[in-house]
Amino acid sequence: MHAPLDPKPVILTGDRTTGPLHLGHYVGSLRNRLVLQSTHRQFLLLADLQALTDNAHDPDKVRRNVLEVALDYLAVGIEPTKTSICVQSALPALAELTMLYMNFVSVARLERNPTIKDEIRARGFGRDIPAGFLCYPVAQAADITGFKATIVPVGEDQAPLIEQTNEIVRRVNHQAGRAVLVEAEALIPKVGRLPGIDGKGKMSKSQGNALLLSASPDEIKRAVHLMYTDPNHLRVSDPGTVEGHVVFTYLDAFDEDEQAVADLKAQYRRGGLGDKVVKARLEALLQDLLAPIRERRAALARDPDSVLDVLRDGTAKARAITRATLEEVREGLGIFRLS
């Protein structure tokens, strides 16, 4: 008898549908997803319910951006034949898993989650944290485990969420007395998180420091022009600092010619290299990177039905898998079965 073929390991990641994706998403996880879709069984979740946890007052935005993020996925090269793109709110099994997992997490543990702590501070919730927001890590655990994903390609800010997911996995398995769920591993890119063009913290649309994947040539030009450099580098001949210099940080993330970038950095440090030259190099690179993405996106946007078909198909596959997991968890936890 032949040994059964190793099934491909499962990958699940997602994005909140709060706005179109930007270069930070590209470096943070899209690039990994593009590579991995050939070797893994990949699911991408349009996390509209998670987006609602801090956007309950603006459901229109969340709904509209389901299609926008889907367009971004397809435009960068996510292939529906390799990756299933699915809509979170169309997967009720995930909500039910969340409900069950909620009993395996304490409020204190949720409040200690570093990602949540940062986000609560950034959003100025004070004591008025929506319960849904505080609990979204539990829902994210449901997303990940619902697909039995073992690899989660995300930015480094998401690592505490994967850790919390694995705690839930262990507790549920302990309660069930067997390995119903599998632990997952965060796959974090080496390049670290991409700063915004102003150099202040991470790239974020709400901070106004983002460069969208759908940016026009003029927007790209303008963004590079505005990038934070070394404020003490006044004359071309002055020695400069490359640390914190956004243009160099972006070259590190996008320029494949590492030697050329190292040479430019050395020259900048010594003095004798103007920001104009470095910016021109980066702009050319970003124009080349984004032009085909923008064109594909525009073509797809003219045919929204074909995109919806992709979502229907991906969501149907996701529904089958998440339902099966829910059944196993219900069984494992001994939930009443009304037959």
Nearer to ligand TRP, 88 or 209 (CB): 88
Segment lying near ligand TRP (by CB under 6 A), choices 9-17, 120-128, 284-292, 317-325 = 9-17
- Determine, following the binding rule CB under 6 A, whether residue 154 of this chain makes contact with ligand TRP: yes
Closest CB 79 distance from ligand TRP, rounded Å: 20
Segment lying near ligand TRP (by CB under 6 A), choices 139-147, 192-200, 289-297, 298-306 = 139-147
- Determine, following the binding rule CB under 6 A, whether residue 42 of this chain makes contact with ligand TRP: no
Burial state string for 207-237 with b = 16 or more CB within 10 A and e = fewer than 16: eebbbbbbbeeeebeebbeebbbbeebeeee
Segment lying near ligand TRP (by CB under 6 A), choices 13-21, 30-38, 194-202, 243-251 = 13-21
Nearer to ligand TRP, 45 or 105 (CB): 45
- Determine, following the binding rule CB under 6 A, whether residue 34 of this chain makes contact with ligand TRP: no
Q: How many CB atoms lie within 10 A of CB 67?
A: 17
Nearer to ligand TRP, 104 or 248 (CB): 104
For the chain, the distance separating the N- and C-terminal CA atoms, rounded to the nearest angstrom, is: 38
Q: By CB under 6 A, name the one of 54, 143, 230, 283 that touches ligand TRP.
A: 143
Length of the chain in residues, anyone? 339
CA dist 54 and 51 (Å) reads 6
Helix, strand and coil in the chain, % to nearest 5: 60, 10, 35
β-partners of residue 15 are: 46
Residue at token pair 């910016």: 279
Closest CB 149 distance from ligand TRP, rounded Å: 8
Q: Residues 207, 213, 218, 223: what is their CA dihedral angle, to the nearest 10 degrees?
A: 40
The sign of the CA dihedral 296, 299, 304, 309 is: negative
Q: By CB under 6 A, name the one of 144, 247, 282, 300 that touches ligand TRP.
A: 144
CA dist 222 and 140 (Å) reads 36
Nearer to ligand TRP, 71 or 273 (CB): 71
Which positions from 267 through 306 interact with ligand TRP, judged by CB under 6 A? none
- The footprint of ligand TRP (CB under 6 A) covers 12-16, 45, 47, 50, 140, 143-144, 152, 154, 158
